[in-house]
A and B are shown apart, each in its own frame.
Chain A
Amino acid sequence: MSLSGKAAIAGIGATEFSKESGRSELQLAAEACLAAIKDAGLSPSDVDGLVTFTADASAEIAVQRELGIPALRFFSRVDYGGGAAAGTVAHAAMAVATGQADVVVCYRAFNERSGHRFGQANKSGGTGSNAMEFSWHLPYGFATPAAWVAMQARRYMHEYGATSEDFGRVAVTMRRHAATNPKAWFHGRPITLEEHQASRWIVDPLHLLDCCQESDGGVAIVVTSAERARDLPHPPAVIAAAAQGTGPDQMMMFSYYSGDIAALPAMGTVGEALWRQSGLTAADVQTAVLYDHFTPFVLIQLEELGFCGRGEAKDYIREQGIGLDGALPLNPHGGQLGEAYIHGMNGIAEGVRQIRGTSVNQVADVRNVLVTAGTGVPTSGLILTGTG
């Protein structure tokens, strides 16, 4: 039995993306969920499953109460920060495919800019396995996601000769896409490679413009059976594949201790599962939404997912192109670098819009979209397919 084709995304919803939402994270979650449910042509009483991130502050039962959902038959959470994004849809699809639930809403909502900011120095606490992992790193002032990613980026530069400008080309492309997306925080504000190079160091080799913004907002995704989705208002984005994955010797964000760190083996695990489940190859994908909290990992993802060979991403980006007119348009909404940082969930919504043909930066003739979740952590991915 395969999950492929059993479930589809029938609705997407979001709040505005801002730097200060002015309301509670629960309200953002409830608003995003309601918008997604209405987008799917359903009402809260149709919903019987909720999935969110382990990191989310709003309990499934709290969201249930706000929306007035009579009863839940399925609820679960997915761990490891932004690595959870596509994982929530994978869990929802499995629940729908096995009959555990009919309509599952996946949500993520936070005041990540005006409330708790992930980019600030982390603190360790407790003696659980995660606290132990952090304890090998925090005492050295190695305390921010930018620093953790930069460690792998430096090795990648060393191994393959990639430069800061190669990273910068990702940022410039994402900001160009965001510039024409009215929902994007950086709408109308493209950047140049020179501006990228001139931006201050955050953690060398990462400049400020290698790092995504921090955002307030919420996004929700409605998953139901592919069959039921056909009867709902929008063209279904069928889940051709959904997978989670880790790599060998996996850590939360410190997988430096064995093997090649100029790589993202967890994404390799996910990619392999996505191609196997869907029966597709990289050549079948017209556009991809690759998690872009920091630019270097966009390059490594292209390699892990087979769009190009090891160390070739810098050449692929320069020569084939990742813009709307490129060989593989990446993150047409502007990504997290340009639209908003909603822990990858806004990227899934963009994948759905590309399948529906309703994106403000629509790529032509989209049949299959690949969407990935947080990198450097245990992660997940999706391949969405149109029915037309």
Chain B
Amino acid sequence: MHEELTALAERLTALGEQPALPCLDPVNAAMIRNWTQALGDPGDWADAAPPAMIQVWSMPGLVEHKGGGVADEPLRLLNEHGYTGVVATNCEQTYDRYVKVGEHLRSTMRFGGVTGPKKTGMGEGYFVTWYQSWYDADDQRVAEMLFRVLKFQPRKRAGNAPKKGGKYPLQPAIGLDTRFFWDGVNEGELRIQRCADCGTLRHPPGPMCPSCNSTNREHVVASGRGTVYSYVVHHHPPVPGRTPPYVVAVVELAEGVRVVGNVNGCPPEDVHVGMPVRLVFERMDDELTLPQWTPAGAPEPVAEATPEPEPAELEIPLTPTFVIATALATRDFTPVHHDTALARAQGTKDIFLNILTTMGVVQRAALQAVPGGKLATIAVRLGVPAYAGDTLRVRTERAGDHTLKVRGAVSLGDHVTATVTFKEDA
């Protein structure tokens, strides 16, 4: 397959620029208004179009067959050989000049190459790159875009490491007799059941005190100090959600009861019976936190709540309206950007922001930081999806006289990291 792919890539690269789908309408004020309203872009674009809109002018719209892309063949070949996953990784736009209302553009595409196979966080894959260019009536180029996707083999043993933002696969069952314990964990406490009548401590908890048969229960909060009473190092077989080798220990608490947990924060070979450990809390997913253990002498972990973050310069609540309106204003009718049920059926959490909008948001943040700046390029690296219901927080940072770093984060992590450059004459 690799040879076939390489040969195909060479053939496609040799073809050079090919005509792309036609730009259906001239650059027009109505589309610009839709776009600025949907993105909340405050710019006064008068007769020029926002540069990050460039791809909008050649979008085919709500049509059955898009096709005609220069990368269709290699993508299909990769699909047929098990590289069925796809994720966009890079989008880089270069603006030769801003286009004006009334201009009718023409677009071309050329194949940019294939690199791989590469081991990536998603699985083994190939990066496929192509370019799109836009020309004016005088055949002068006005903009160019590089677009790169990773086609990857989804990992065979699904869920071995939990997907970022996914649900941790080893969930505890929580019942009437154990709810207080997990409530405590969520409040940062390790609770030990205590008989309200005879005072006997007990873990794991249960409904009736084995010492006096009372059903009156209360709890104490453990000091979080303990010693390793026994431990194992798990190597095999694979356990969903865990990466071996990892340590499981019976920890004897200062209070006298024992609990089971993982010992994190040191190599497995450092763990020994009698080792003093202290309580830490490990966040497993959006809902589950587990009480865990770390060597008593280990440095305090960086507080989970990082010190008051600098306020984001741009904070966009990703309402469904925002996600859908921007998708349609960029003429992107792919259902995962507007149809929640269909998006979920395809395995995503919700509808999510499309890339043309991400480009627009980066532009908006950049121009907010450099008012009046003339954009030369926007190069973005794409991260986690920006799902409806989340908030996109964008910050910028000067990286040179004409360069700005832009970073947009959602609750799952970085959605976009971008480098924006400005023209020197601005």
Q: A131-B173, A138-B170 are in contact. Are A261 and B232 (CB under 8 A)?
A: no
Give chain B interface residues in 221-240, CB to chain A under 8 Å: 229-240
Within 8 Å by CB of B236, from A135, A155, A201, A258, lies: A201
Contact B233 A203 (CB under 8 A): yes
Give chain A interface residues in 110-161, CB to chain B under 8 Å: 119-121, 124-127, 131-144, 147, 150-152, 154-155, 158
Chain A positions within 8 Å of B173 at CB level: 124-127, 131-132, 134-135
Within 8 Å by CB of B178, from A135, A141, A203, A204, lies: A135
Within 8 Å by CB of B288, from A139, A142, A150, lies: A139
CA distance A103 to B204 in the complex (A): 43
Closest to B238 in A: A121
CA distance A127 to B179 in the complex (A): 12
Contact A147 B178 (CB under 8 A): no
How does the 8 Å CB contact mask read for B247-267 relative to A, with 1 for contact and 0 for none? 010100000011111100000
CA distance A133 to B178 in the complex (A): 11
Q: How many residues of A contact B (CB 8 A)?
A: 41
CA distance A144 to B288 in the complex (A): 22
How does the 8 Å CB contact mask read for A200-232 relative to B, with 1 for contact and 0 for none? 111111100000000000000000000000000
Contact B230 A139 (CB under 8 A): no
Contact B257 A257 (CB under 8 A): yes
CA distance A97 to B273 in the complex (A): 49
Contact A140 B230 (CB under 8 A): no
Within the complex, what minimum Cβ distance (angstroms) separates A10 from chain B? 41
Q: A132-B175, A140-B262, A257-B204 are in contact. Are A151 and B231 (CB under 8 A)?
A: yes
How does the 8 Å CB contact mask read for A289-328 relative to B, with 1 for contact and 0 for none? 0000000000000000000000000000000000000000
Within the complex, what minimum Cβ distance (angstroms) separates B287 from chain A? 12
Q: A137-B260, A147-B248, A257-B203 are in contact. Are A132 and B178 (CB under 8 A)?
A: yes
Within the complex, what minimum Cβ distance (angstroms) separates B116 from chain A? 32
Chain A positions within 8 Å of B288 at CB level: 139
Closest to B229 in A: A155
Contact A139 B234 (CB under 8 A): no
Chain B positions within 8 Å of A132 at CB level: 173, 175, 177-178, 204
Q: A142-B260, A158-B230 are in contact. Are A203 and B170 (CB under 8 A)?
A: no
Q: Is B268 an interface residue (CB 8 A)?
A: yes
Within the complex, what minimum Cβ distance (angstroms) separates A256 from chain B? 5
Contact B230 A142 (CB under 8 A): no
Give chain A interface residues in 67-99, CB to chain B under 8 Å: none
CA distance A143 to B235 in the complex (A): 12
Chain B positions within 8 Å of A135 at CB level: 172-174, 178
Q: Is A254 an interface residue (CB 8 A)?
A: yes
Chain B positions within 8 Å of A131 at CB level: 173
Chain A positions within 8 Å of B230 at CB level: 151-152, 154-155, 158, 256, 261
Within the complex, what minimum Cβ distance (angstroms) separates B422 from chain A? 50
Give chain B interface residues in 364-405, CB to chain A under 8 Å: none
Within 8 Å by CB of B235, from A124, A154, A202, lies: A202
Q: What are 15 A-B pairs at a CB distance below 8 A?
A: A132-B204, A136-B204, A140-B248, A141-B246, A151-B248, A154-B230, A154-B232, A155-B250, A201-B245, A203-B232, A203-B233, A203-B235, A204-B233, A204-B235, A254-B260
Binding site for B on A (CB under 8 A): 119-121, 124-127, 131-144, 147, 150-152, 154-155, 158, 200-206, 249, 254, 256-258, 261
